[in-house]
Amino acid sequence: MQKVIVTEKLPIKLWLDDIEPGALEQARNLANLPFLFQHVAVMPDAHQGYGMPIGGVMASDEVVIPNAVGVDIGCGMCAVRTSLTTISTEQLKQVLAEIRRKVPLGFEHHKKKQDARLMPKAEGLLEDLPVVAREYQAALTQLGSLGGGNHFIEIQKGDDHRIWLMVHSGSRNLGFKVANYYNHLAMTLNRQWGSRIPTAWQLAFLPLTGPEAQAYLREMRYCVDFAFANRKIMMEKVKDALLTVAAPVFFEPMINIAHNYAALEFHFGKHVLVHRKGATSASAGEIGIVPGSQGSPSYIVKGKGNPESFASCAHGAGRKMGRKQAQRQLDLGQEKKRLDDQGILHEIRSAKDLDEAAGAYKDIDKVVENQLDLVEVLVALHPLAVIKG
C-alpha cells in the first residue's frame, strides 16, 4: 500500500502514488457514501471511470451500485499453459489467420445463432431475468466473439519456457444492456426517494432488501457466467487453431478470473457485498492473471488474501491516456517500432489503433511492484502475437 487518505468520512487506501485527479475525486465520493463499509481500496492500475474508478474496490452491507460494477459485467481473463516450448513466426501467422476465421472481432457477431446448450443456465426461470430474456436471442450470436476496445487474444512465451494462450473479453452487449437498465432504474428510484447522494457522482444505488437489487444481482450473475462461457468458447477455438499448425499439443486446465462484478463475501467480521470494478479477487492461494498491454508482459499471480484490499488486486496495466488523447499524442512510428523491435506480431496499423498502443498504458512492472503485498508473481509472459477486438 502506498498511501492512506483520511480526510473523508472513511479512509481511502491507495496502492499507487500517481492517481489522476478524476479518479481520486471518484474515490473521495465513494468514501463519503453513507453505506460504505470500512474503506475504499484503489488498485495500482486505477484510472477514472463512470461513478467509480476502474481499479476500485468497495463494499456495502446495504446496497448494490450498478456503476460500481460497470457496463461490461463479468469481463475478465483466461489463460492456458501449453506443452509447447517454442513456436515459429510463420506458425504464429498461421494461427492468427485461423483465429480470425473462427472468432468474430470488434463489433462483429456470428452470422448464425450458436448452440443454446453453450449458454449459462439461469438460477431460476429465464423469465425471472427480464433483460437477459429480452436479449437472449441476440446473445446467441455474440457467444464466442471477442468484442472491441481493450479485449484481446494473445499468444505468449512464459519465463517457465512454455507457450501460453490468453483471452480477455466480457459479456458483450448482454452485460451492457443489463448494466444500463439497472443503473437507469436506480437513478429513477433515487430521485423518487429524494436521495441525498449527488446525481453528478453517478453512484445511484439499489437497496439489497428490495426486489430491484435482487433482480439486478440475478441478471449480473448470469452475465458473469455468460462472459465466462464466451471466453471458454474462444479459448477452445484458439487451441484448435494452434493444433492446426503444431500438433500434438497438450493443454493444462484453464485459469479464469473476472474483474467486473459484485459478490457477497466475509470481510472484517461481516458479510458484505464487495464491488470490484477493474479489480480481481486475490484470496489466499487463488491463481489470477494481471495482463499488460500488447507490448509488455502479463503475469500469472497467486493471491495473498490481504484484508486491506478486500483480498483484491489490479486487473491489468490500466490506462494512462484516454483513447482520443492517445490517438492525438502518441507517435505511430515509435509505437510500431517498440513492438517490431520485440518481434511481436501486433495490431498497430494506423493512428486509429493508437488507443490500444503500449504507450497508452501504465508500466505493468510498476503496477505489479506496487501490489506485491497483494499477490505473488508465479510466471511472467512475454507477448509473441496479438489480436485486438
What pLDDT was estimated at residue 293? 87
Structure confidence at residue 140 as a pLDDT band (50, 70, 90): very high
If we measure between CA atoms, which residue out of 71, 77, 23 comes closest to residue 46?
23
Q: Report the relative pairing of strands 260-267 and 270-277 from DSSP bridges.
A: antiparallel
Average per-residue pLDDT for the chain: 95
For residue 151, the cross-strand partners are: none
**Each residue of 42-65: pLDDT tens digit?**
999 999 999 999 999 999 999 999
Which position has the grid cell 471477442? Answer: 146
Q: CB-side exposure of 235: number of CA atoms within 13 Å?
A: 25
Mean pLDDT of 12-39: 96
315 is catalytic: yes
What pLDDT was estimated at residue 357? 87
What pLDDT was estimated at residue 124? 84
C-beta separation of 1 from 308 below 8 A: yes
Mean pLDDT of 147-175: 96
C-beta separation of 205 from 273 below 8 A: no
Q: Where in the chain are the domains?
A: 3-320+361-388
**Each residue of 212-258: pLDDT tens digit?**
999 999 999 999 999 999 999 999 999 999 999 988 999 999 999 99
What pLDDT was estimated at residue 11? 98
Identified catalytic residue from 47, 315, 346, 382: 315
- pTM to 2 decimals? 0.95
Statement: residue 358 has pLDDT above 90: no
**Each residue of 304-348: pLDDT tens digit?**
999 999 999 999 998 888 889 999 999 999 999 989 999 999 988
What pLDDT was estimated at residue 170? 96
Q: CB-side exposure of 380: number of CA atoms within 13 Å?
A: 8
Instruction: Give the rounded percent of residues in the chain with a pLDDT score beyond 70.
Output: 100
Identify the CATH class of 3-320+361-388: alpha beta
**Comparing 358 with 27, which gets the higher pLDDT?**
27
Structure confidence at residue 149 as a pLDDT band (50, 70, 90): confident
What pLDDT was estimated at residue 247? 84
Statement: residue 295 has pLDDT above 90: no
Q: How far apart are the first and last CA of the chain?
A: 34
**Separation in Å, CA 125 to CA 122, 175, 321:** 6, 18, 43
